[in-house]
């Protein structure tokens, strides 16, 4: 097929998907486009990289430490816009902070660590960018229907990410392939590296797998049948991109997430004993790993044993050269200055690493033992939250639990708890817990109930008598007091 024809067909397919999305009139506000654009940027390339891709130079970053001024301005403007949306919705950030103590401690400690960083200004700039993740997620989860908002976020971003990735890899290799530091030509699609392509493939792939599981029982209904076909098509696109990425860690992580998702749907699995299952499984895996090196054999089967050996040597070097074991080098500060040049000067690291290729070691290098301890606390609290969701909102709970397991495993060979990565974005999604009352009456719009009912709206449960109005988020012109409901 000629590249021009492939481009036209791809753009037509993307246009159809967005046209169908708008036609369905989902119960989400226009503010959801902020998180959609945010996810698209962190999944693909920064604005300066997009401009450079099409020949507009002069906006690229001058160094790893400095970054691009244009990117900083754009991302900061998006964060400020999201904060404005949350203020209009009159969300109680103090209540959210009380429900997420461990997560707040982690965020504040990251900021505090800038004090002992070699470049405090750079560390703070990176911290502000990281703060965009939870802020964008709060915009998503304060939509009228949070789960629907998450689904629309993932769908809308995928409409562009995967069709364009496949188009570039097949017909525009100058954009979709690149020579990486190992000298080999890799498929990167719309991302920058093959590992990033693998990450977006498994996160979106697990979402569409979850979505297909819900749509399958309703496949005989006309609208649901079409939605199922589209979801299966997008799932196929993510699978194709994952295969082209050749990322062993991503494949194993996706398989684990899918197995957990299917297992949680079995009738004989007691949802209240998920913690016991998790501890038992962990002990079994550790025992098998210690006796038979299961992970090593799996990696050998995928042909990535040499890559893992290179990462193992990198771990030894960075751990041996770390001089701040308690507090770390400061948030996002280890890979800079003399430390970075010292590692790059070693002949075995001709590929110039800029991360530890292990999320836990990366956190240790930047935030020390204190940071790793806080991170483990956040992960444990997030697991408890996901287990609770399995009882109260099963479908949402098993998606979050699958993501949680994927995060824990994938960070063994990739540093996902850092920067503007989709893995870090999903980490906040799994970890954030919303309080029961986060909405204010002044930001609500009424609809009429036909009979008395207990209504669960987001995290809020109200007992509303018949003939009364229940308020849904949107429309600041609605000023009735919530007490009028009763």
The percentage of residues in the chain with a pLDDT greater than 90, rounded to a whole number, is 40
Helices (H), 327-443: 337-344, 359-392, 394-410, 422-431
If one compares 391 and 107, the residue with the highest pLDDT of the two is 107
Task: Pick the range with the lowest mean pLDDT from 116-120, 302-306, 338-342.
Answer: 302-306
Per-residue model confidence (pLDDT) at position 157: 95
- Considering only 12-26, 151-165, 221-235, which range has the smallest mean pLDDT? 221-235
Q: Exposed e or buried b for every residue in 8-17, given b needs 16+ CB within 10 A? A: eebeeebeeb
pLDDT surpasses 60 at 478: no
pLDDT-based confidence at residue 183 (cuts at 50, 70, 90): low
Q: What is the pLDDT of residue 307?
A: 56
SS percent in the chain: helix, strand, coil, step 5? 70, 5, 25
Most confident of the ranges 299-303, 335-339, 363-367: 363-367
43 pLDDT higher than 70: yes
Mean pLDDT confidence for 207-215 = 91
pTM: 0.84
Integer Cα distance of 328 and 368 in angstroms: 4
Report the distance separating Cα 241 and Cα 261, nearest Å.
Answer: 21
Each residue of 227-238: b (16+ CB within 10 Å) or e? Answer: bbebbbebbebb
Q: How far lies 44's CA from each of 37, 48, 294, 350, 480, in Å?
A: 10, 12, 33, 26, 43
Percent of the chain at pLDDT exceeding 70: 80
Q: Out of 121-135, 213-227, 313-327, pick the least confident.
A: 213-227
Query: For residues 433 and 386, what is the distance between their CA atoms, to the nearest angstrom?
Result: 10
Mean pLDDT calculated for residue range 332-346:
85
Q: Which residue has the higher pLDDT, 182 or 149?
A: 149
Q: Does the structure show a pLDDT above 70 at 294? A: no
Average pLDDT over residues 170-199: 85
- Does pLDDT of 373 surpass 80? yes
CA distance 141 to 318: 38
Q: Of 296, 309, 180, nearest to 246 (Cα)?
A: 180
* Helix, coil or strand: residue 481: coil
Please state, rounded to an integer, the average pLDDT across all residues of the chain.
81
What is residue 1's predicted lDDT score, i.e. its pLDDT?
81
pLDDT of residue 479: 33
Q: How far apart are CA 442 and CA 450, in angstroms?
A: 23
pLDDT score at 456: 45
DSSP symbols for 85-103? HHHHTT--HHHHHHHTHHH
pLDDT at 100 > cutoff 80 = yes
Q: How confident is the model at residue 25 (pLDDT cuts 50, 70, 90)?
A: confident
CA distances from 147 to 124, 330, 376, 462 (A): 32, 35, 26, 19
Residue 448: per-residue pLDDT? 40
* 220: Cα separation from own chain's centroid: 32
Q: How confident is the model at residue 170 (pLDDT cuts 50, 70, 90)?
A: very high
135, 86 in Cβ contact below 8 A?
Answer: yes
**Of residues 84 and 218, which shows the higher confidence score?**
84
Whether residue 86 is predicted with pLDDT greater than 50 in this model: the reply is yes
- Judged by average pLDDT, the poorest of 32-41, 219-228, 266-275, 428-437 is 219-228
Per-residue pLDDT reduced to its tens digit, 397-419: 999 999 999 999 899 888 888 88
CA 483 to CA 89: how far, in whole Å?
Answer: 18
Going by pLDDT thresholds of 50, 70 and 90, the confidence category of residue 360 is very high
CB 418 within 8 A of CB 39: no
Q: Residue 450 pLDDT > 50, yes or no?
A: no
DSSP strand pairing (185-187 vs 453-457): unpaired
- The answer on pLDDT for 214 being more than 90 is no
pLDDT bucket at 246, cuts 50 / 70 / 90: confident
Closest C-alpha among 447, 402, 411, 450 to residue 429: 402
441 has pLDDT over 80: no
Cβ-contact 190, 45 below 8 angstroms: yes
Q: Is pLDDT at 480 greater than 50 in this prediction?
A: no
Is residue 96 within 8 Å of 434, Cβ to Cβ?
yes
- Which range is least confidently modeled, 4-8, 56-60, 170-174, 300-304? 300-304
């Amino acid at each position: 097929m000629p590249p021009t024809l492939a481009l036209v067909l791809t753009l037509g397919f993307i246009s159809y998907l967005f046209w169908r999305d708008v036609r369905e009139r989902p119960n989400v506000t226009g503010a959801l486009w902020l998180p959609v654009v945010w996810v698209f940027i962190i999944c693909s390339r920064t604005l300066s990289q997009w401009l450079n891709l099409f020949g507009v130079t002069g906006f690229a970053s001058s160094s790893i430490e400095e970054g691009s001024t244009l990117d900083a301005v754009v991302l900061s403007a998006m964060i400020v816009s999201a904060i404005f949306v949350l203020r209009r919705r009159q969300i109680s950030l103090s209540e959210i902070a009380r429900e997420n103590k461990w997560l707040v401690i982690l965020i504040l400690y990251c900021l505090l660590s800038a004090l002992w960083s070699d470049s405090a200004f750079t560390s703070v700039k990176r911290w502000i960018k990281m703060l965009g993740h939870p802020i964008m997620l709060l915009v998503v989860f304060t939509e009228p229907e949070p789960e629907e908002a998450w689904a629309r976020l993932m769908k809308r971003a995928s409409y562009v990410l995967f069709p364009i990735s496949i188009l570039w890899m097949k017909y525009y290799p100058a954009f979709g392939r690149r020579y990486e530091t190992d000298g080999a030509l890799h498929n990167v699609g719309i991302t920058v590296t093959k590992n990033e392509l693998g990450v977006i493939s498994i996160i979106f792939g697990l979402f569409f797998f979850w979505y297909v599981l819900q749509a399958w029982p309703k496949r005989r209904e006309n609208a649901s049948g079409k939605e199922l076909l589209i979801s299966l098509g997008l799932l196929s696109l993510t699978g194709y991109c994952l295969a082209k990425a050749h990322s062993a860690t991503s494949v194993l992580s996706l398989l684990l997430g899918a197995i957990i998702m299917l297992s949680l749907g079995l009738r004989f699995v007691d949802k209240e004993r998920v913690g016991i299952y998790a501890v038992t499984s962990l002990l079994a895996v550790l025992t098998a790993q210690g006796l038979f090196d299961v992970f090593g054999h799996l990696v050998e089967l995928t042909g990535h044993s040499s890559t893992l050996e290179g990462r193992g040597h990198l771990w030894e070097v960075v751990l041996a050269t770390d001089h701040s074991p308690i507090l770390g080098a400061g948030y996002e500060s280890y890979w800079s200055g003399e430390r970075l040049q010292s590692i790059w000067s070693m002949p075995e690291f001709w590929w110039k690493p800029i991360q530890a290729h292990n999320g836990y070691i990366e956190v240790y290098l930047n935030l020390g033992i204190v940071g790793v301890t806080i991170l483990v606390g956040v992960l444990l609290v997030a697991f408890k939250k996901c287990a609770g969701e399995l009882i109260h909102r099963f479908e949402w709970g098993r998606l979050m639990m699958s993501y949680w397991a994927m995060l824990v495993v994938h960070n063994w060979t990739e540093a996902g708890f850092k920067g503007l990565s989709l893995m870090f974005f999903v980490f906040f999604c799994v970890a954030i817990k919303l309080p029961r009352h986060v909405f204010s009456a002044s930001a609500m719009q009424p609809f009429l109930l036909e009979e008395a009912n207990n209504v669960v709206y987001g995290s809020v449960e109200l007992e509303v008598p018949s003939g009364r109005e229940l308020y849904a988020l949107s429309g600041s012109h609605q000023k009735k007091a919530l007490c009028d409901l009763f």
